[in-house]
Amino acid sequence: MTPKSFLALATATLVAVLLAMVTSSTSNTGNVIADRGESFVSGLAEKANNITSITTVTSDGTTTVTKKGNAFVDASGFPIKDETARQLVTSLALLSIEERKTDVADRHADLELAAPDAKSGAGQRVTLKDSSDRVVADVIAGRREFTVGGTRGGQYVRNASDTQAYLVRGTVNVPSGRSAWFDTSLTSVENAKVLKVTAMAEDKPVFEVSRNGDKLDLTTVPEKRKTDPAKMTRLARLVAPLSFADVRKAKADSKPEGPVLTIEAKDGVKITLTALNKAKGDDNWFRVEAVSSDNASEDLVKKLTEKAKGFEFQLSSRDAELFWWTPNDLTTEAGS
């Protein structure tokens, strides 16, 4: 082969390689964005009104809500906020594909698209079912991506049964924790209306706090100590509002053994909160009851009773610790 022939062949080969590279690049780019603009969960918008079951699996655990009448309820039977279910389903329906990403399962953790029980890179799984118990959507939502999607932003997602990952416009509105599903306020009594707070443990009085003018005071103050105003405020704020962190169906065979706080307020309102467990801890559950001795408060008591009857509630750790306070906890040294 002459040098000229070799040069011609080399030139032709180089051109062929470059053309192949360009063609391959164009083909790959086309594959990546071939689905751009398409709905990630096809047909969900049309099926949204027929969704009867929503299940989320996150690091906080598994939550399933089902439709009862025109509303969704938790497994305990306690109603969830209508907008929570609506926003979650709507956010899934609005997801539109921006581009395909990896289909290699080992790389899912990098996009936080691994299974929810994975040790690292776990995603959040959302499963929607219709009235025939058919799966309408089963999606794992991963890391947020703020380079697409405008004000809504974007997110990495995949179908739970598929390894193919996508970058989509929009984000999945998965409730952040159990309390985010509910209207967690059971009732609310203004601080200034609280007249008395009493604590009992094992049927014995622990302390009594009563209103003295515009403030609350410990009725019996330990020697060489004085009432701590900040602690009085915290006691009053327990019901302003009375909120919970989680809810479950009351167990018929469970017998409350823990401390009891009774809050008496103006207009004859009396709210009693009973801890189920004797020992203090992070998993303390409570029962709530209310009575009224005045017509002015009957509506408040009726609404609270309707919400709380048949359920047990978990309070925040900050609120729960009040049940185990002693007179020393409610006071400071007299000289301080």
Q: What is the mean pLDDT of residues 241-254?
A: 92
What local confidence, expressed as pLDDT, does residue 122 receive?
97
What pLDDT digit, counting tens, does each position of 253-301 carry? 878 889 999 999 999 999 999 999 998 886 789 999 999 988 878 999 9
- Predicted local confidence at residue 16, as pLDDT: 41
Strand (E) or helix (H) holding 262: strand 260-265
Residue 24 has pLDDT above 90, yes or no: no
Residues 263 and 243: their CA atoms lie apart, in Å, by 15
- DSSP string for 263-303: EEEGGGEEEEEEES-SS--TT-EEEEEEEESSGGGHHHHHH
Residue 105 neighbours by CB under 8 Å, 6+ apart: 163
| Tokens matching residue 243 | 């909120």
pLDDT of 186 over the 90 cut: yes
Two tokens, residue 121: 């890179």
pLDDT of residue 336: 62
Binned at pLDDT 50, 70 and 90, residue 22 comes out as: very low
Mean predicted confidence (pLDDT) in 195-199: 97
Average pLDDT over residues 78-82: 95
Structure confidence by residue, pLDDT tens digits, 319-332: 999 999 999 999 99
pLDDT band at 199, cuts 50/70/90? very high
Report pTM: 0.83
Give the span between the Cα atoms of 151 and 148, in whole angstroms: 9
**Across 12-25, average pLDDT:** 42
Output the six-digit token pair for 131: 């009235």
| C-alpha dist (Å) from residue 75 to 62, 88, 181, 246 | 11, 18, 12, 12
Per-residue pLDDT at 116: 96
Cite the DSSP H helix spans in the chain: 3-33, 44-47, 82-93, 229-237, 298-308, 317-320
Mention every residue, 6+ apart, whose C-beta is less than 8 A from residue 63. Answer: 55, 56, 74, 75, 175, 178, 181
Q: How confident is the model at residue 89 (pLDDT cuts 50, 70, 90)?
A: very high
Q: 3-class SS at 59? A: coil
Q: Percent of the chain at pLDDT above 90?
A: 78
The pLDDT of residue 312 is: 96
Q: Enter the tokens of residue 65.
A: 């809500």
The number of CA neighbours under 13 Å toward the Cβ of 246 is 18
Percentage above 70 pLDDT, the chain: 90
In the chain, the amino acid numbered 270 is: K
pLDDT above 60 (res 10):
no
Output the pLDDT for position 140.
98
At 37-61, the pLDDT tens digits run 899 999 999 999 999 999 999 988 9
Residue found by looking up tokens 């499963």 in the block: 127
Is the pLDDT at 7 greater than 90, yes or no?
Answer: no
Region 245-259: mean pLDDT is 90
For residue 144, CA distances in Å to 1, 85, 141, 153, 172 come to 59, 21, 9, 7, 10
Name the band, by pLDDT with cuts 50, 70 and 90, for residue 17.
very low
